């Protein structure tokens, strides 16, 4: 099972086991990681699963989709490494992936 590292805006780190085929948003919810809300259930229509992908991992993810790009344009505090975690599937290659979570999703 790949391990995913989520780092909250305040630096708190959560290392969780991720199920292959699940999304990185669902993985965060299944493990009660604060800072990923997933309000739309993964339909790419809320932007509350926003995360920043660690630079070392950006090239290992699939390219951003058109719907994801449009949704990110309306999301707070985006950066060049922003992604929507509901649009990213857990694969074996992502073992050790580091995602940082934005201030806008602090609960």
Site for ligand FES, rule CB under 6 A: 25, 38-40, 42, 44-49, 71, 84, 86
Name the strand (E) or helix (H) holding 24: helix 24-30
Which of 24, 56 has the CB closer to ligand FES? 24
**Among 18, 81, 70, 24, CA closest to 44:** 70
Which of 3, 41 has the CB closer to ligand FES? 41
Q: What is the DSSP letter of 61?
A: S
**Least distance from C-beta 13 to ligand FES, angstroms?**
22
Q: Which two tokens stand for residue 44?
A: 């790419």
**Least distance from C-beta 41 to ligand FES, angstroms?**
6
Which of 44, 64 has the CB closer to ligand FES? 44
Q: Which two tokens stand for residue 30?
A: 């299944």
**Least distance from C-beta 46 to ligand FES, angstroms?**
3
Q: Which two tokens stand for residue 33?
A: 């990681």
């Amino acid at each position: 099972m790949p391990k995913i590292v989520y780092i909250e805006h305040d630096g708190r780190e959560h290392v969780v086991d991720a199920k292959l085929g699940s999304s990185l948003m669902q993985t965060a919810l299944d493990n009660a990681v604060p800072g990923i809300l997933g309000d739309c259930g993964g339909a790419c229509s809320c932007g509350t699963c926003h995360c920043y992908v660690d630079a070392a991992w950006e090239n290992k993810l699939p390219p951003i989709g058109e719907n994801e790009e449009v949704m990110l344009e309306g999301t707070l505090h985006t950066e060049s490494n922003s992604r929507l975690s509901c649009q990213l599937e857990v694969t074996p290659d992502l073992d050790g992936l580091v995602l940082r979570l934005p201030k806008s999703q602090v609960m």
